[in-house]
Structure 1
Amino acid sequence: MKKKYRKLPRNTDYSAYRHPRWWPTWLGIGAMWLIAQLPLRFQWWLGKGIGLLAWKFASSRRAITETNIRLCFPELTEQQQAALVRKAFIANGIGAIELGIAWFRDPAKLTRITRVYGLEHFEQALASGHGVLLLGGHYSTLDLGGSLVTEFIEADVMQRDHNNPLMNAVMTRARGRRYGTVLGARELRGLFRSLKKNRAVWYATDQDYGRKDIVFAPFFNIPTGTITATSRIAERSQCKVVPFSHFRRDDRPGYEIYFHPALENFPSGDDLEDATRINAVIEQEIRKAPDQYLWMHRRFKTRPDPNDPGFYKPKRKKKKS
């Protein structure tokens, strides 16, 4: 039976998690800490193994990934698509291991193997005085890339809570050591306060959030539900929207961070045009390292017409015991 954590309060005080029910989670956290102390090459090797195991046994996630790859890369042969699916699981397996580095080690030690491109674009945007919305994506380097970014700039972050309150506490406290402020996904007041202080805020829009406040903009040539909140935030705060991304190098241990020029004439007043531009920017970044994107998510779940057939197989309903 799946544990129900959602009704429990979000508490970052570790003393709230002394009960034996949390011991398995503590054990997992301890394992993450130990693995994070290992050499980077060994961690990548271990992450590759985890990714391959998930590729072989996580059939539902593999099916989602296969569907997404097939939809987004129709120009590839079946063999090439299958190879990309396998590589995506490996990349995300390494990303899972890198969580330990992001949460429990000092990312400053990795700056010598990190290349940063376009930092001047961020600095120019910040000079406007109205804050910067860092338009990111859900790449496999999500946490570690974010930690590395804070070694070069000061930033706050918006996050979606982890379902497990103890894991959420660890994640929030770890991010709090890297970012100035850790904001919840719905803390818009906090977001506007940060922007008003001319802060940068890490922000991602590239997931399916349902039908509320969205338009259907092309993403890999597929009409995709895309939230309009980015336009609303930029309009109200007059902040600059700066696309950025972060990837793991595939030739040797190392990372790359990219900052791009702030979107011009944004928002335009046309939500569909704005969403199309945002999706195009994210797609452009994904194509730099297609395997390092979170393809396991049902990105195309919400269809323009609710009666349109879905791309994904419906989840199996669990039998009541």
Structure 2
Amino acid sequence: MRLDKQKLLTSIFSYFGRCSDATRLRWGRALGWLSSRLLRSRAHIVRTNLALCFPGLSEPQRQAMLDRHFRLLAQSMIDRGLIWFGSPERIQETVQITGLEHLDALLKAKRRIILLAPHFIGLDAAATRLTLFLKESATLYTPQSNADVDTIVREGRGRFNTVHLISRRDGVRGLIRQLRAGIPVYYLPDMDFGLDGAAFVPFFGIQAATLLTTAQIARNWDAAVVPIVSRLNAETGQYQVDVLPPLTDFPGDQTLEQATTRLNQLIESWVRPDPAQYYWVHRRFKTRPEGEPRPY
């Protein structure tokens, strides 16, 4: 039974990897329309996040942002088929990338590299496009509860060159081992995992439990922090991935909390031009300072 289910999932995603751009865009529009209506608990999370972070917008404006967010999110899910099963040539055509010269210079200088990838809709497409450039890379991986889905995701994320998928159960130590060996690590800095190893720092004016890991690793291992900003054009199905210059003087003389506040401010600046591109379905503010009500 498991093999049959895995075959079915593989067939579905490989179909999305082979179909035309027009077809995958039609599927994205249909799934986007359905998901915002059927996934009511997730829509509640998105609506809550947008109300907290953009209180100056009207309710119709936030609703339009929510609708567009689910449209982009649905398209990115359909496009897992493209990045997991599509040809390298088609992926390169669909996922445009700039700034690889920054990585090339750091690799030649034998610098340790943290690829800082905030939760934008296109983060999976960005990761796959980077693995086409990097001979070796590593990232934390959360094992999927369904074994069939887990197999497809693991194989999809590791299909190009050498990709070390470090189970989140092993913690950040496994990622540091790869970093110490000179392997660039793809790291997502902006989820709420509680207060263990984290601090409350502002994100869109709201105190958010934020891991101090990026600043801590950069300081302890002299790692360059290279931001990866990705965007999806829902009308064309094209992704734009920008590899930005490494952060200067990071963390420098700042405390870990100050440096992490700087990171959150940078992420805000990347989100604001098109907020619907950010992954608002996460409960970013679930951990609250003592005495504050839980927003969700």
Q: Please say whether Structure 1 and Structure 2 have the same fold, judged by a TM-score greater than 0.5.
A: yes
AA aligned to 2:276 is D
Tell me, in whole angstroms, the C-alpha distance in 2 between the residues paired with 1:35 and 1:116: 22
AA aligned to 1:63 is H
2:280 aligned residue: 295
The TM-score, its normalising length taken from structure 2, stands at 0.91
SS of structure 1 residue aligned to 2:247:
coil
Q: State yes or no: 1:143 paired with 2:127.
A: no
State how many pairs are aligned: 292
1:90 aligned residue: 71
Q: Is the 8 A contact 2:201 2:261 kept in 1?
A: yes
Deviation at 1:261, TM superposition (A): 1.9
SS of structure 1 residue aligned to 2:156:
helix
Note the residue ranges of structure 1 that are not aligned, 5 or more in a row. Answer: 1-19, 313-321
Give the alignment's Cα RMSD to 1 decimal. 2.0
Percent identity reads 30
Within 5 Å, which residues of 2 pair with 1:53-68? 53-68=34-49
* CA 1:167–1:138: 2 relative to 1, 3 Å: same
SS of structure 2 residue aligned to 1:210:
coil
Tell me, in whole angstroms, the C-alpha distance in 2 between the residues paired with 1:276 and 1:189: 23
Tell me, in whole angstroms, the C-alpha distance in 2 between the residues paired with 1:264 and 1:231: 12
* CA 1:291–1:197: 2 relative to 1, 3 Å: same
Note the residue ranges of structure 2 that are not aligned, 5 or more in a row. Answer: none
AA aligned to 1:194 is Q
Deviation at 1:172, TM superposition (A): 1.1
Tell me, in whole angstroms, the C-alpha distance in 2 between the residues paired with 1:163 and 1:157: 19
AA aligned to 1:218 is P
1:258 aligned residue: 242
Deviation at 1:22, TM superposition (A): 5.6
Tell me, in whole angstroms, the C-alpha distance in 2 between the residues paired with 1:82 and 1:249: 19
Residue by residue, what CA displacement relative to the aligned partner does 1:186-223 show, whole Å, maximum 9, x if unpaired?
A: 35444233223322111001111012111111111111
Match of 2:157 among 163, 175, 189: 175
Match of 1:49 among 22, 30, 55: 30
Q: State yes or no: 1:286 paired with 2:271.
A: yes
2:96 aligned residue: 115
Within 5 Å, which residues of 2 pair with 1:1-321? 20-21=1-2, 23-154=4-135, 155-178=137-160, 180=162, 181-185=164-168, 186=170, 188-268=172-252, 269-305=254-290, 307-312=291-296
Deviation at 1:102, TM superposition (A): 1.6
Tell me, in whole angstroms, the C-alpha distance in 2 between the residues paired with 1:73 and 1:107: 39
Segment of structure 1 superposing worse, 261-270 or 78-87: 261-270
